[in-house]
Amino acid sequence: MKLSEHFTLSEFTVSQTASRYGYDNTPGETEIASLRALALNVLEPVRTQFGVPITISSGYRSLKVNKKVGGSSSSQHIKGEAADIQVWGYDPVTVFNWIAFYSGLDFDQVIQEFGSWVHVSFTERRPNRRIALRARKSGGKTIYDRITEPLDMV
């Protein structure tokens, strides 16, 4: 099923964890509508900006899959509102900076995760918050720092 010009539903639902443990990772209609909104409002503009494909390493997660990967119980991945992305050939910091500070896009949260990928979310349940965070590990725990200006390249 195509969600938008460059994104199909299966890109958001494929999960190594689901395959490995035999978990169902099929979203319902509400979650599919949310994934479509994320694709149209955020991911397509990102693709247009950088002009290259985007790899989605995690999109929708069923409750079981989310629990298994250690996701927060309030994760927007469960609602189909979030995706972890990598833009081919671009540093995650560049992608994060563009979404957070230059794009003018309506997004809910964008997180630069450990210098490796970008988590971005979009919601239609309430106004989007445009929160920019950086996730890092400290003593085995994940710390989220609020980011208010573009990050330097690492």
| Residues of this chain that bind Zn ion (CB under 5 A) | 84, 119
Q: Where are the alpha helices (DSSP H) in the chain?
A: 9-13, 16-21, 29-38, 44-50, 63-68, 92-97
Closest approach, Cβ 58 to Zn ion, in A, equals 6
Residue closer to Zn ion (CB basis): 36 or 119: 119
Residue closer to Zn ion (CB basis): 9 or 133: 133
Residue closer to Zn ion (CB basis): 51 or 76: 76
Taking the C-alpha atoms of residue 84 and residue 92, their distance in angstroms, rounded to an integer, is 11
Residue closer to Zn ion (CB basis): 30 or 72: 72
Closest approach, Cβ 56 to Zn ion, in A, equals 10
- The structure tokens listed for 18 are 């689901």
Cβ count near 24 (within 10 Å): 9
Closest approach, Cβ 96 to Zn ion, in A, equals 13
Q: Rounded to the nearest 5°, which phi and psi values hold at 119? A: -95, 130
Closest residue to Zn ion: CB criterion: 119
Residue type, 11: E
